[in-house]
Chain A
Amino acid sequence: MVWEWVPRNVDRIVELLGEHLLLSLVPVLIALVFAVPLGWLANRSAPARAVLIPASGLLYTIPSLALFVMLPGVLGTQIKSPVNVIVALTIYTVALLVRTIADALAAVPSMVVAAATAMGFKPARRFVSVELPLAVPVLVAGLRVATVANISLVSVGALIGLGGLGGLFTDGYQRNIPSEILTGIVLTVLLALLADAVLLAAGRFATPWDRARRSGA
Chain B
Amino acid sequence: MIEFRGVTKRFPDGTVAVDHLDLVVEAGGITVFVGPSGCGKTTSLRMINRMIEPTEGTISVDGRDVAATDAAELRRGIGYVIQQAGLFPHRTILDNIATVPLLLGWSKAKARSRAADLMELVGLAPEMAGRYPAQLSGGQQQRVGVARALAADPPILLMDEPFSAVDPVVRESLQDELLRLQSELGKTIVFVTHDIDEAVKLGDKVAVLRVGGVLAQYDQPGQILARPVDDFVDNFVGRDRGYRGLGFLSSDAIPIGELTTVALGEPVPADDAWVLVVDSERRPQGWSNGAERGGATVVEAEHLVPGGSLYDIGSGSLRSALDAALSSPSGQGVAVDAEGRVAGSITADDVLRALDDVRRDVAAA
Contact = CB atoms under 8 A, between A and B. Distances in A.
A4 to B, nearest CB: 54
Nearest to A217: B135
Contacts of A119: 75-76, 80, 99-100, 103, 148
Contact of B135 (A114, A116, A118, A212): A212
A113 to B, nearest CB: 9
A120 B134 contact: no
Interface string A104-119: 0000010110111111
B84 A118 contact: no
A117 B87 contact: no
B135 A213 contact: yes
B75 A213 contact: no
Given A133-B90, A209-B132, A118 B73 contact: no
Interface string B99-142: 11001000000000000000000000000000111110000000
**Residue among A118, A119, A207 having the largest count of chain B Cβ atoms under 10 Å:** A119
Interface in B86-100: 86-91, 99-100
Given A209-B132, A209-B134, A117 B90 contact: no
A130 B87 CA distance: 11
Nearest to A211: B132
B82 A114 contact: yes
A114 B51 contact: yes
Contacts of A133: 90
A8 interface: no
Given A122-B72, A213-B134, A217-B135, A117 B89 contact: no
Contacts of A120: 72-76, 100, 103
Contact of B90 (A111, A134, A217): A134
A119 B134 CA distance: 20
A97 B137 CA distance: 35
Contact of A130 (B72, B74, B83, B88): B88
A127 interface: no
A118 B80 contact: yes
A121 interface: yes
Nearest to A117: B51
Given A209-B132, A213-B134, A112 B88 contact: yes
A121 B134 contact: no
Nearest to B91: A209
Given A209-B132, A212-B132, A212-B135, A115 B86 contact: yes
Interface in B229-272: none
B82 A115 contact: yes
A115 B76 CA distance: 12
A115 B158 CA distance: 12
Contacts of A117: 51, 75
Given A120-B103, A212-B134, A115 B80 contact: yes
A209 B131 CA distance: 8
A213 B132 contact: yes
A208 B130 CA distance: 11
A209 B103 contact: no
B49 interface: yes
Nearest to B76: A120
Interface string A190-217: 0000000000000000011100110001
Nearest to A130: B88
A208 to B, nearest CB: 8
Interface of A: 109, 111-112, 114-122, 130, 133-134, 207-209, 212-213, 217
Closest 4 CB pairs of A and B: A115-B86, A120-B76, A118-B80, A120-B75
24 contacts: A109-B86, A109-B89, A111-B82, A111-B83, A111-B86, A112-B86, A112-B89, A114-B51, A114-B82, A114-B86, A116-B88, A117-B51, A118-B49, A119-B99, A119-B148, A120-B76, A120-B100, A120-B103, A130-B88, A134-B89, A209-B89, A209-B90, A212-B134, A213-B135
